[in-house]
Amino acid sequence: MSNQMAAVLEIDNLHKAFKVGFIPKKREILKGVSLSVAAGEIYGYLGPNGAGKTTTLKCVLGLIFPDRGTIGLFGRPALAAKAKERLGYLPENPYFYDYLTAAEFLDFYAQLFGLKKREKKEKIAALLRLVGMEKARDLQLRKFSRGMLQRVGLAQALINDPDLLFLDEPLGGLDPLGRKELRDIIVRLRQAGKTIFLSSHILQDIELICDRVAIIVGGRVISQGALQSLISEKVLFTEVTVSGLDPADLVDLGEPVSTAGDRILLKVLQEDNIDNLMALVQERKGRIHSLVPRTETLEDIFVEMVKQG
Amino acid sequence: MKIRAIALNTFKEAIRDRILYLLFFFAAISLAFSRLLAVLTVGDRVKIIKDVGLASISVFGVLMAILIGTGLVYKEIDKKTIYTLLAKPIPRWQFLLGKFFGLALTLFIMILAMGTVFLVIVLLHTGKLESRLLLAILFIFLELVLITAVAILFSCFSTPILSSLFTLSFYLIGHLSWGLETLVQKTRSGAARAVIRGLSAILPDLENFNFKTEVVHGLAVDPKFYLFSALYGLVYTMFILTLAVLIFKKRDFV
């Protein structure tokens, strides 16, 4: 890989098994995960539930100890305190000390990084502004909604101005507006030179912002690369909604998907057939209501891979 | 610095917990009750007040140490607050020590509050302040510190209910283990005696912290014994904390 030099996170052949049950039985969660994240990119770590996304993250952060394999952060072994100084982490479904107010909570975490008093105050105010939680500054966290906790969670992950940010399912629990805002924040953080490692199973959002992705299924990374190289630009089929036509005439042109009133939704596979369809519509004085070419999405690839995996 | 931040946050958490005030409320009632008992007693009323008062402080102190101590570490793990905390550059032993000092500070404040109520009651009754009562209270505090360490040790790997039971057992065993000494003397030498002697060496002897009788009845105590008890508490607490750190260090936070 060409950007190997600037890799901020390097995971090699990571294995982890947990013992479960009363009579301990080994369950392998990670079966040799390897990946490499370059400086300054947004890296999507995708996989279905239970694939091992969070377990990988926890190994990197030193919350659990891998059985085998190596993890390098900024060219040092992970777990080094020096490396941790430069990390930020937002866990999945974050939950924080509910007896603290948002400001107290951030202040506590700021102390853990040894921030000076003035620095601390400015930082906390700036972060609360960034995540849009200024009004909730003096509210106890127990009164927060999930989306609000997610925002404060992002603020705590940024308290040390980290170079590498781990976000575990950051868009969960957010409304559409909140998602858009968070996406914008993530993109802005990349512009500020940060590297972002994003684990998620919500694909639409990832597709819009990730530079590269890795897909993990059943404890193995089965694909890794730039999004463009994974998704082909080719038009797979075109969805056309027409009205004023006889369904019997359309059989040769495409596959009728549904009808509502006299509107027919048609899935047209060959591009030549679109011209034929348009000609037919003109001839019969019908109407075209919509025409949507569908390219391959990350979701298609994902579903395909999970099926194979 | 980091230990201090965690300790102060732990203190904040404990002090905002309602259970603490409930226990304090009952401790205050119990202290006031000692006065009532004294009225019903034939003989030295002051002794009854002191005796029941010190016992109340001790019992409610232990309850506080167990109920708060076993919950705090477990809650961090259960509610996953520990994830973000340990992802920061904090060695795990510092986290655990922070928790310990936070709890010790909480108990100190509580003992201070209960002690004040107690001393005021005694003052109202006798008209004088007795510094030796403070000494007895100080050693109750040292015992509570040890109990807290034990509670933290158990909550590193067990649920609050089990940890509470374990810690309570530690407390009870600790107050009964002196009987083993007597048993050693009564047993003929042999395997049985060796086993009992071994047990009495390993098991904690919390009676070392109990100066209530001496203080209440005005008996003389060799200062060396105070020193020994304080050292005993210190060493035992450090031993338990080391054990807790060793277990906590290896733990996976799933």
Per the CB < 8 Å rule, is B88 touching A113?
Answer: yes
For strands A87-90 and A76-77, give the pairing: unpaired
Q: How many CB atoms lie within 10 A of CB A283?
A: 10
User: Is the CB of residue B18 less than 8 Å away from at least one CB of chain A?
Assistant: no
From B94's Cα to the closest Cα of chain A, the distance in A is: 11
B253 touches chain A (CB under 8 A): yes
The shortest C-alpha distance from A156 to chain B (Å) reads 9
Query: Does residue A194 have a pLDDT over 90?
Result: yes
Question: Does the pLDDT of residue A233 top 70, yes or no?
Answer: no
Going by pLDDT thresholds of 50, 70 and 90, the confidence category of residue A271 is confident
Whole-angstrom distance, CA of residue A36 vs CA of residue B202: 52
Which helix (H) or strand (E) covers residue A231, if one does?
A: none
Neighbours of B12 (CB within 10 A): 17
Per the structure block, which two tokens stand in for A3? 């950007």
Q: Which residues of A35-45 are buried (b: 16+ CB within 10 A; e: fewer)?
A: bbbbbbbbbbb
CA distances from A47 to A71, A82, A169, A282, A305 (A): 20, 30, 11, 46, 10
What angle do helix axes B18-40 and B92-126 make, rounded to 10 degrees? Answer: 30
Neighbours of B219 (CB within 10 A): 9
Would the pTM of this model clear 0.80, i.e. be above it? yes
User: Reading across the β-sheet that carries A195-200, which strands appear in turn?
Assistant: A87-90, A164-168, A195-200, A42-46, A212-217, A220-226
- Contact between B93 and B59 (Cβ < 8 Å): no
Q: How many CB atoms lie within 10 A of CB A88?
A: 25
Q: Answer yes or no: do A99 and B13 touch at CB < 8 A.
A: yes
- Mean pLDDT score of chain B: 89
Are residues A45 and A197 in contact, defined by beta-carbon separation less than 8 angstroms?
yes
pLDDT at B218 over 90: no
Residue A3 reports pLDDT greater than 60: no
Task: Name the residue with higher pLDDT: A204 or B233.
Answer: B233
Range picked from A4-18, A71-85, A179-193 for highest mean pLDDT? A179-193
Calculate mean pLDDT across residues A164-183: 87
Q: Do A108 and B80 touch (CB under 8 A)?
A: no
Q: Is the per-residue pLDDT at B170 higher than 70?
A: yes
Residue A97: CB partners within 8 Å, gap ≥ 6?
A105, A108, A141, B9, B13, B81
CB pairs under 8 A between A and B: 78
The chain A residues in contact with chain B (CB within 8 A) are: 18, 58, 61-65, 81-82, 84-85, 87, 89-91, 93-97, 99-100, 104, 108-109, 111-114, 153, 156-157, 160, 166
Length of chain B: 254
Tell me the nearest-neighbour CA distance from A290 into chain B, angstroms.
Answer: 48
